[in-house]
Amino acid sequence: MAIGCLRIGLDDTDAPGGLCTTWLGAVLASRLETAGVPVRERRLVRLNPNAPFRTRGNAAIAVLAEGDPALAFELACAAVEEFAPLDAPMTNPGVVVADRPLPVACYRSAVTDLCTVGDTVDTLDAAGARYRGYGNGRGLIGAAAAVAAEFPDRTYELLAYREPSRWGRPREVNADSLFRAEAATFPQTWDSVDRENDAVVCVPHTPDPVLFGIRGESPEWVEQARSLVLSEPAAFETCWTTNQGTDAHLVAGLCGALREGRSYAVEGTIADRPTTGPGGHVTVSLAEGDERLRCMAYEPTKGFRTVVRALRPGDRVVVCGSYRHGSLNLEKFAVLELAACATIRPPPCPACGRRTTSAGRDRGWKCRACGGKVREPEVVVEERTIAPGWYEVPPIARRHLARPLCRGPPELPIGLDRGNG
Ligand code: ZN
């Protein structure tokens, strides 16, 4: 962090049916600029999607600026106190302002693991940061993580916010224009729509101030897609730099050594044929030595379940997803190597063509009708409907942090540079 650089972090200012943290962050950024604190970057930082008590989408924000830390802190606290519903029990905002770097581990642990308010406060005190926690102070975790974040990979999201008079009313966004915008800019933008499932993805259904969000590789690409979207007038728009779509939540894991609430990439061998349970959820297990790992593709992942069902015992795979309640919930997987799926069955009789039966152990097959004998069984090779490569859930089922395959296949071993299981 250069001299004069400030980072202002906010988290947990949402309330059900109300504001969202990104809106407050955008408002704060504009107030900082008005007060003579130039803003260099606006960051939307997604954190562990499995954290208990997480806010919807577990988003924190950081504003990178230049100026007086005391003034920035005062403005940030004032914005939280003006807009955040401080009396809502589930809303526990945190404000952090630092003019010196926080340890990046503070971010890494909040995106891949579970953190405590106590540890966060220790880190903030050690770094001499200004901070204020409201309620139980839980928002300090995300606010500190957002300030500490470094993005080895980054994407962008343009968020358009609604006029306050329209909040809570149905959104007017032309769906056809979203399909056209994505068609014109994919794969440089993604997840505005889900073509396979004929669904709009980027327009929320919650009563918060977001009108829509366009995700992509650069500010230019999201702007270009946005220029094609027809909608009600937006109050204002902010282009956020973000860790969305980067797999920042994944760490390398080993079968049998996964912890609840973390997200992993795990290599292994398919242990049994996939099964489809009640509700259409698909289960398949991985084996590695004596360890087993149950993997799930739930019904909302739609067509993704078809490729999961095509896996067979012996296939070598890498699976990615969150480990919850003893299962890995698949976000994507790679087939590294397909098993030879062959079964044997009694051959037809060479004389009369009827199906033979076993003549006994190591004695070949025998025709019960004419007495014909065969030594070799018939080998039935199963035609595979899946090829080596990566497969992912559709946009409607994608988590914010999951890197879409349109950004290029993940490098293997995925997650290995990001910490240990
Ligand atoms: Zn025969």
Position 140 pLDDT exceeds 70 = yes
365: left (phi over 0), alpha (psi -120 to 50) or beta: beta
CA–centroid distance, residue 342 to ligand 1 (Å): 25
Q: Which of 20-24, 83-87, 164-168, 325-329 has the lowest mean pLDDT?
A: 83-87
Give the pLDDT confidence of 293-322 residue by residue, as tens digits: 999 999 999 999 999 999 999 999 999 999
Same structural domain, 132 and 269: no
Quickly count: other Cβ atoms within 10 Å of residue 180's Cβ: 16
- Least confidently predicted of 214-218, 283-287, 371-375: 371-375
**Is the model's pLDDT at 405 over the cut of 90?**
yes
| Same domain as 359, residue 224 | no
Distances in whole angstroms, Cα of residue 143 to Cα of each of 60, 94, 258, 312: 6, 6, 27, 44
Q: Looking at residue 341, what is its pLDDT? A: 86
Report the pLDDT value the prediction gives residue 16, as an integer from 0 to 100: 65
CATH of the domain at 324: 2.40.50.1010
Reported as a pLDDT band with limits 50, 70 and 90, residue 404 is: very high
User: Is residue 281 located within the same domain as residue 193?
Assistant: no
State in Å: Cα 363 to ligand 1 middle.
16
The per-residue pLDDT for range 124-138, each reduced to its tens digit, is 999 999 999 999 999
Residues 200-219, mean pLDDT to the nearest whole number? 95
Residues in Cβ contact with 23 at an 8 Å cutoff, skipping those fewer than 6 apart? 161, 208, 209, 210
> Quick check: is 419 in a domain?
no
Q: Does 335 share its domain with 260?
A: yes
- For residue 356, the CA-to-ligand 1 centroid distance in Å is 7
User: What is the spatial distance between Cα 258 and Cα 243, in angstroms, rounded to a whole number?
Assistant: 23
Q: Of the candidates 191, 211, 242, which is a domain's last residue?
A: 242
Q: What spacing in Å lies between the alpha carbon of 382 and ligand 1's midpoint?
A: 26
Q: Could you tell me which residue, 168 or 187, shows the higher pLDDT?
A: 187
Q: How much is the mean pLDDT over the chain?
A: 93
Structure confidence at residue 419 (pLDDT): 40
* Entry pTM: 0.91
Neighbours of ion ligand 1 (CB under 5 A): 349, 351-352, 367, 369-370, 372
Q: What is the whole-number distance in angstroms between the Cα of residue 366 and the centre of ligand 1? A: 8
At 91 the pLDDT is: 86
pLDDT of residue 58: 83
Spacing, Cα 365 to ligand 1 middle (Å): 11
Tally of CB atoms within 10 A around 208: 22
Q: Does residue 414 register a pLDDT over 70?
A: no
Domain co-membership, 138 together with 42: yes
Q: What's the confidence (pLDDT) of residue 418?
A: 40
The verdict on 32 and 136 lying in the same domain is yes
Q: Is residue 141 part of a domain?
A: yes
What distance in angstroms lies between residue 343's CA and the mean position of ligand 1's atoms?
A: 22
Q: How confident is the model at residue 166 (pLDDT cuts 50, 70, 90)?
A: very high
Q: How far apart are CA 279 and CA 267, in angstroms?
A: 27
CA of 379 to the centre of ligand 1 (A): 19
pLDDT digit string, tens, across residues 356-397: 999 988 899 999 999 999 999 999 998 999 999 999 999 999
277 and 387 both lie in a single domain: yes
In this prediction, residues 79-99 reach a mean pLDDT of: 90
| Mean pLDDT in residue range 246-258 | 94
pLDDT at 17: 58
If asked whether residues 114 and 32 sit together in one domain, one would say yes
Question: And the tokens for 87?
Answer: 């009396």
Asked if residue 201 lies in contact with residue 396, where contact means CB atoms within 8 angstroms, the answer is yes
Examine residue 113 and state whether it is found in any structural domain, yes or no: yes
The percentage of residues in the chain with a pLDDT greater than 70, rounded to a whole number, is 94
359: in domain: yes
Q: How many domains does the chain have?
A: 4
| Residues 88, 175 share a domain | no
Average pLDDT for 3-22: 81
Choosing from 194, 221, 242, the residue where a domain stops is 242
**CATH number reported for the structural domain that contains residue 70 in this entry:** 3.30.70.2200
* pLDDT band for position 81 (cuts 50, 70, 90): very high
Statement: residue 416 has pLDDT above 60: no
Q: Which domain holds residue 258?
A: 250-340+383-407
